[in-house]
Chain A
């Protein structure tokens, strides 16, 4: 069962349309190993990974700003990961992503009750505070923004990615 699921995720990740394209997105279950798959699938592309949750107040303020950022930066892969502890809320998660204009992004949702393990794979020092944004440059360099990101900082990072080309 688990192997099938992983295979399914593998296919989904590798055959998914380029993030930001017109095709409607889906909510992918984020399980053990998903982080490495995600990194592999975006290797060589500037990628913004945003961790958030449906009950997080600051996240509600930030999501629409990120939706706007994504719309204006088609050359950045935008990935969201709902990192709340209980994953049985795909409806609420989808609703907030749609409202923020982020549904066309690549969207994941924590789907393992053992969240310490999921977080450990992403960043062993991360204790679960959200929002949190990781900016992954083409060379794999990761910049971590704790808390709400400032859009001008994202703009600056985005400009650097293409200036360096």
Chain B
């Protein structure tokens, strides 16, 4: 008997037991009901417990230079990779990147990251919870043989304080740039009796396609510790990161930083004055894309005093100034999880809405570099839990990449209708 079937049978036994006890002894049930419910699939974000794509809770796409779609996903406690030559209709046999069962970071904004290099190399990164206090560790690996095998996992940094929400980007010369949130500076703060808020934004880079990374360095300290980062390139050697910062007074508004090269962080510039003063984990990070014209496109969530909901703004001066925030989506449908991507044929934005029963992915497009946008339309719907909607481009078309529990993985071309 495999572990899976044994667990399944135990769950069934618990369930039928529960039924019997429920009828006879309703009073004593709380604990039994709780454990049976925990083991029930209903409680899970995933449709099943195996490592296959259908059971994934988070799926991240990337197109290779030859038009091959690569996916990495979290399923069954493992990270796997597969590719598709026919835009997601069929996939290669998955290759499992992790071997031992790890406590993968399941935070709402966590997901494995993937970049596919020009020479076919594949760099991956993801985070795990490494202890019972949920301290994170960012790990990476690389495939040098076109995704057939992956090197042993290595930590992005040798420091042992908590790291989460890593982001990977591919520079024009093939360098890999990594950024993440890192709690190491809370140690000296604590030792000297100082309060330490949030986490540091750290970075490193790799000149060998993600086989080894430089020593970790601090870009800016005391940023919000629980939201994904947005990462894009303003030009060769110039990564840009958008992140939820902690401004004066505990205000968790968004900031952007343009590096002058892979080793030189720039100034912290504010994207918007939303005035969201909150000592909490919003679990809801921003999205960044930079078009060929150099325009920065940023989408984010806030619940600030100045504005609440999803917003979009653009900058044509490398983040020094931004346009007035444009509200996105229907405010009565809880718009969430925005993602923006500037492609060769326009800029696309997707986000989720929820009407109390169904989640929809909504899209709008811009033909003028974000100055004006089409009316939103619904591109996909699901009736159970789902991953964040992501956009991915093969250099020509833009696709929605969306994992859903009820309907599996979807890759949908975003139409040209607007």
Binding site for B on A (CB under 8 A): 1, 4-5, 7-9, 11-12, 15-16, 26-29, 31, 53-59, 85-88, 90, 92, 95, 109, 111-117, 120, 124-125, 127-132, 146-148
Kindly provide the distance from the CB of A24 to the nearest chain B CB, expressed in whole angstroms: 10
Which residues of chain A come closer than 8 Å to B303, judged between CB atoms?
Answer: 127, 129, 146
Q: Kindly state the separation between the CA atoms of A85 and B57 in the bound complex, as whole angstroms.
A: 11
Given A12-B29, A29-B34: A129 in contact with B108 (beta carbons within 8 A): no
The residue on B at minimum CB distance from A90 is B38
- Per-residue CB contact flags for chain B residues 15-45 toward chain A (1 = under 8 Å, else 0) read 1001100110011011111111110001111
Given A55-B134, A87-B43, A113-B42: A5 in contact with B37 (beta carbons within 8 A): yes
Cross-chain contact B356 with A117 (CB below 8 angstroms): yes
The residue on B at minimum CB distance from A9 is B33
Q: For residues 289 through 343 of chain B, which have their beta carbon under 8 Å from a beta carbon of chain A? A: 301, 303, 308, 332, 334, 336
Of B23, B37, B38, B384, which is within 8 A of A114 by CB?
B384
B170-178, B230-238, B280-288 - interface stretch: B280-288
Cross-chain contact A125 with B280 (CB below 8 angstroms): no
Which residues of chain A come closer than 8 Å to B35, judged between CB atoms?
Answer: 90
Q: Kindly state the separation between the CA atoms of A89 and B43 in the bound complex, as whole angstroms.
A: 11
Cross-chain contact A15 with B27 (CB below 8 angstroms): yes
Which residues of chain B come closer than 8 Å to A130, judged between CB atoms?
Answer: 280-281, 283
Given A31-B37, A146-B303: A85 in contact with B45 (beta carbons within 8 A): yes
- Per-residue CB contact flags for chain B residues 348-367 toward chain A (1 = under 8 Å, else 0) read 00000010110100000000
Which residues of chain B come closer than 8 Å to A16, judged between CB atoms?
Answer: 30
Q: Kindly state the separation between the CA atoms of A109 and B30 in the bound complex, as whole angstroms.
A: 12
Binding site for A on B (CB under 8 A): 15, 18-19, 22-23, 26-27, 29-38, 42-46, 106-108, 129, 132, 134, 225-226, 277-284, 301, 303, 308, 332, 334, 336, 354, 356-357, 359, 384-385, 405
Q: Kindly state the separation between the CA atoms of A95 and B133 in the bound complex, as whole angstroms.
A: 10
Q: Kindly state the separation between the CA atoms of A128 and B301 in the bound complex, as whole angstroms.
A: 12
In the A-B complex, the 9 residue pairs with the closest CB atoms: A147-B280, A147-B278, A29-B37, A11-B26, A8-B29, A12-B30, A8-B33, A4-B22, A148-B279
Q: Kindly state the separation between the CA atoms of A28 and B225 in the bound complex, as whole angstroms.
A: 29
Q: Kindly state the separation between the CA atoms of A2 and B303 in the bound complex, as whole angstroms.
A: 35
Q: Kindly state the separation between the CA atoms of A61 and B303 in the bound complex, as whole angstroms.
A: 22
Which residues of chain A come closer than 8 Å to B405, judged between CB atoms?
Answer: 113-114
The residue on A at minimum CB distance from B20 is A4
Cross-chain contact B37 with A124 (CB below 8 angstroms): no
Q: Kindly state the separation between the CA atoms of A16 and B144 in the bound complex, as whole angstroms.
A: 59
Cross-chain contact A127 with B46 (CB below 8 angstroms): no
Cross-chain contact B44 with A113 (CB below 8 angstroms): yes
Cross-chain contact A129 with B278 (CB below 8 angstroms): yes
Kindly provide the distance from the CB of B91 to the nearest chain A CB, expressed in whole angstroms: 24
Most buried by A among B108, B279, B282, B354: B279
